[in-house]
Amino acid sequence: MKYRLHILTFAFLFLCLNSFAGGGKKVKKLTEEEKIKLDFTYVDAARAKITGNLEEAISKYLECLKIDPKNDAAMFEIAQIYLNQKKMEESLSFAKQAADLNPANEWYLQLLADIYERNNQHKEVIRIYQQLIKNQPLKIEYYFQLASAYALAQKPDDAIKTFNRIEELNGINPDVSMEKEHIYVKQNKLDKAIEEIQKLVAAFPKETKYYGILAELYQNNKMEDKAQELYKKILVMDPNNSFVHLSLADFYRSKGEKEKSYNELKLAFENKDLDIETKLRILSSYYPLVFNSKEMMQQALELGKILVTVHYNDTRSFAIYGDFLIQNKNTKEARDNYREAIKLDKKTFAVWQQLFAAESELRDFESMLKESDEAITLFPTQPIVYFFNGLAKAQSNKNSEAVEQYKAGLNLVIDNKDLEEQLYASLGDSYDKLKDFKKSDEAFDKALNIKPKDTYVLNNYAYYLSLRVEKLEKAEAMSKLSNEIEPNSHSYEDTYGWILYKLNKYSDAKIWIQKALEHGGNKTAVILEHLGDTLYKLGDVQNAVQNWEEAKKNGKGSELLDRKLADKKLYE
CA dist., res. 192 & res. 183, Å (int): 10
Q: Does residue 469 form part of some domain?
A: yes
Count Cα neighbours of 261 within 13 Å in the Cβ-side half-sphere: 12
pLDDT at residue 16 in the model? 42
Rounded to whole angstroms, the Cα distance separating 77 from 268 reads 54
Share of the chain above pLDDT 70, in %: 95
Given a contact cutoff of 8 angstroms between Cβ atoms, the answer to whether 506 and 534 are in contact is yes
Supply the pLDDT for residue 100: 94
**Residues 160-189 as b or e (16 or more Cβ within 10 Å = b):** bebbebbeeeeeebeebbebbbebbbeeeb
Rounded mean pLDDT of the chain?
91
Overall pTM > 0.85: no
Whether 22 has a pLDDT exceeding 50, the answer reads no
Mean pLDDT of 167-191: 93
For the chain, the C-alpha Rg in angstroms (whole number) is 39
Which residues does 207 contact at the CB level (< 8 Å), separation at least 6? 200, 201
- Report the C-alpha gap between 351 and 359 in whole angstroms: 12
- pLDDT value of residue 20: 43
- Kindly tell me if the per-residue pLDDT of 141 is higher than 80: yes
Span 196-234, pLDDT tens digits: 999 999 999 988 889 888 988 888 888 888 888 888 888
Q: Residue 153: pLDDT band by 50, 70, 90 thresholds?
A: very high
Give the CATH number, domain containing residue 538.
1.25.40.10
Distance, CA of 132 to CA of 139 (rounded, Å): 9
Residue 477 lies in a domain: yes
pLDDT bracket for residue 239 (50, 70, 90) = confident
Residue 312 lies in a domain: no
Neighbouring C-alpha atoms within 13 Å toward the C-beta of 21: 22
Structure confidence at residue 112 (pLDDT): 95
Over residues 268-279, the mean pLDDT reads 93
Q: Which of 85, 119, 153 is a domain's end point?
A: 119
Please give the distance of CA 41 from its chain centroid, rounded to a whole number: 52
At 14 the pLDDT is: 38
Q: Which residues contact 326 (CB under 8 A, 6 or more apart)?
A: 334, 354, 357, 358
Distance, in Å, from the CA atom of 529 to the CA atom of 537, rounded to the nearest integer, reads: 13
d(CA 356, CA 349) in angstroms, rounded, equals 11
Query: Residue 3: is its pLDDT beyond 80?
Result: no
Is the pLDDT at 21 greater than 60? The verdict is no
In a domain, 92, yes or no: yes
Q: How far apart are CA 307 and CA 481, in angstroms?
A: 47
SS3 label, residue 143: helix
Give the pLDDT confidence of 87-134 residue by residue, as tens digits: 999 999 999 999 999 999 999 999 999 999 999 999 999 999 999 999
Please choose, from the candidates 549, 468, 535, 543, the residue with its C-alpha nearest in 3D space to the C-alpha of residue 497.
Answer: 535
Which of 119, 151, 183 terminates a domain? The answer is: 119
Give me the pLDDT at residue 561, please.
94
Question: Of the given ranges (48-57, 248-257, 405-414), which has the lowest mean pLDDT?
Answer: 248-257
**How far, in Å, CA of 91 to CA of 78, rounded?**
7
Q: What is the 3-state secondary structure (H, E, C) of 19-75?
A: HHHCCCCCCCCCCHHHHHHHHHHHHHHHHHHHCCCHHHHHHHHHHHHHHCCCCHHHH
Does residue 85 lie within any of the structural domains? yes
Alpha carbons 365 and 461: distance in angstroms, whole number: 23
pLDDT band at 151 (very low <50, low <70, confident <90, very high): very high
Instruction: Provide the CB-side half-sphere exposure for 303 (13 A, CA).
Output: 29
Higher pLDDT, 110 or 16: 110
Task: Report if residue 40 sits inside a domain.
Answer: yes
Mean pLDDT of 56-76: 93
- Angstrom distance (rounded) from CA 83 to CA 86: 5
Asked, for residue 234, whether it belongs to a domain, the answer is no
What is d(CA 298, CA 296) in angstroms, rounded to the nearest whole number?
Answer: 5
Whether 539 shows a pLDDT value over 60: the answer reads yes
42 within a domain of the structure (yes/no): yes
**Structural domain tally of the chain?**
2
**pLDDT at residue number 555:** 87
Domain residues for the domain of 69 are 1-119
The per-residue pLDDT for 207 is: 86
Contact 163, 147 (CB under 8 A): yes
**CB proximity list for 133: less than 8 A, separation 6 or greater:** 139, 142, 143, 146
Rounded to an integer, the average pLDDT of 228-246 is 85
DSSP state of 153: T
* 91: nearest Cα among 106, 70, 104, 108: 108
Q: What average pLDDT score do residues 250-277 get?
A: 90
Q: What is the pLDDT of residue 28?
A: 62
Q: Does residue 13 register a pLDDT over 80? A: no
Among 83, 102, 119, the domain boundary falls at: 119
Q: CA-CA distances (angstroms) from residue 525 to 482, 511, 512, 528, 555?
A: 22, 18, 16, 5, 5
Q: What are the tens digits of pLDDT across the range 515-533?
A: 999 999 999 999 999 999 9
pLDDT at 325: 97
The secondary structure of 380-449 as a DSSP string is: TT-HHHHHHHHHHHHHTT-HHHHHHHHHHHHHH--S-HHHHHHHHHHHHHHHHHTT-HHHHHHHHHHHHH
pLDDT of residue 25: 45
Q: Give CA–CA dist 245/417, Å, rounded.
A: 47
Instruction: For residues 218 and 212, give the distance between their C-alpha atoms in angstroms, rounded to a whole number.
Output: 10
